[in-house]
Structure 1
């Protein structure tokens, strides 16, 4: 009962902070231009993508999450605030209809969407290698925000496949903080780079005319090379990353 009470307090405090941030941004007109009709249409679709793929990965126990593809998608073509809202709502809705264990992670999901939007705004979502950089930056942010949550609420072990790495490191004598940080620095770049590349592939498959209907559609304009080539490269890198996580990463951590 005490743990539930602590989690409820945590949820309430973080929720209030996020509401205040969004209210400040809205009333200072920092986000109003990003929340047009197309943004509100895309957000539910993005949430559905997050939940569907996230559940598939969870069932398969892959060493990645891939539950933020829709969040990154919205952040890139609708702006950081829309991305943050999508991420937060994804976890809150998943916590209601799937598993309460999703609830505590909504600040991480919001940070992912916001970071994706910021990186896209400065031009780092226009070809596959820049998207890799974006994914790495998102991974760092997710690690910084998520590690305290993982330790404080879940004791470092959650339902994700990457917790296998944490459990192994704990058995080798690592401290809880060290084990969680090491796991996150290993798993997060793998996941967030793959997530960003998959979002890039989806966006790259959309027409320029359709993208222009979104407030930040220009963020998705490919710099060089044919769109099809960029998409193929992105998908190949994703496959290689996932194969690395499945077959090579376990042997590296075991060593």
Structure 2
């Protein structure tokens, strides 16, 4: 049995146990109560993979491969978001590189956290979306750091370059991974959440109502334009911060 296949089995088992528990306890019924959930999931997977591959080609020290996952988490619910994240990495591992498979639990955690935050009303204004992105970053770091340590600091994005640089400076693997996550995760997940927020801001209330949890993304009509502008400006600022402070680390 190859190591890649073993990693896949372990990742699927971990996510399967959580989703199985949610199914048995009937916590995911609303998420999958509409056909719109099943329509959106493959679209979201395509968004994740296409943007994720673009980031890899450009060797950016971020991920941005979870925008679709966040969209599903907000519109359909946390468990649908978790399934979308897991399936995205599973499909990417088949099409491109099995190196995506160990990160299936992280991708599922992102969708789950996004959905839970949205259910709590944290996808209504730009600053709450920033908080959501930060919480997603914390959750992804908690789940992803042990995986990164086991893999020697290798991840499915350009952030591995930062980890490698830190290792060359004499830092330990755990310290290098945590430092990389501290630098990358908040910028990435806040940007991801704000971009998803911007997409949702452009959808009509009638269309949003077709999703199981469309109310999570219904904004005050009088504030939609200002919220969109602030969200996009914040993303631009985060991109500039990445270019100025994070990218130079990858060039050393």
Same fold by TM-score greater than 0.5: yes
Distance 1:98 1:88 in 2: 15
Equivalence for 2:55: 57
Equivalence for 2:145: 147
Match of 1:88, SS state, is helix
Distance 2:193 2:48 in 1: 13
Match of 1:32, SS state, is coil
Worse-superposed segment, 7-16 or 84-93: 7-16
Q: 1:113-145 CA deviation, whole Å, 9 max, x = no partner?
A: 000000111111101110000000000111111
Is the CA contact (8 Å cut-off) linking 2:200 and 2:217 kept in structure 1?
yes
Match of 1:18, SS state, is helix
Worse-superposed segment, 134-143 or 241-250: 241-250
Alignment partner of 2:87 out of 86, 89, 99: 89
Displacement of 1:16 in angstroms is 2.5
Distance 1:42 1:199 in 2: 14
Distance 1:158 1:79 in 2: 27
Distance 1:164 1:11 in 2: 24
Aligned residues: 251
In angstroms, what is the RMSD of aligned CA positions?
Answer: 2.0
Equivalence for 2:97: 99
Distance 2:45 2:250 in 1: 33
Match of 2:182, SS state, is helix
Distance 1:20 1:184 in 2: 26
Q: Give runs of aligned pairs for residues 223-242 of structure 1, distance below 5 A.
A: 223=220, 225-242=222-239
Displacement of 1:161 in angstroms is 1.8
Worse-superposed segment, 228-237 or 18-27: 18-27
Equivalence for 1:11: 8
Alignment partner of 1:45 out of 43, 46, 70: 43
Equivalence for 1:22: 19
Which runs of 5 or more residues in structure 1 are unaligned? none
Match of 2:30, SS state, is helix
Q: Does 1:195 align with 2:204?
A: no
Distance 1:39 1:76 in 2: 11
Displacement of 1:101 in angstroms is 1.1
Alignment partner of 1:77 out of 75, 79, 86: 75
Structure-1-length-normalised TM-score: 0.92
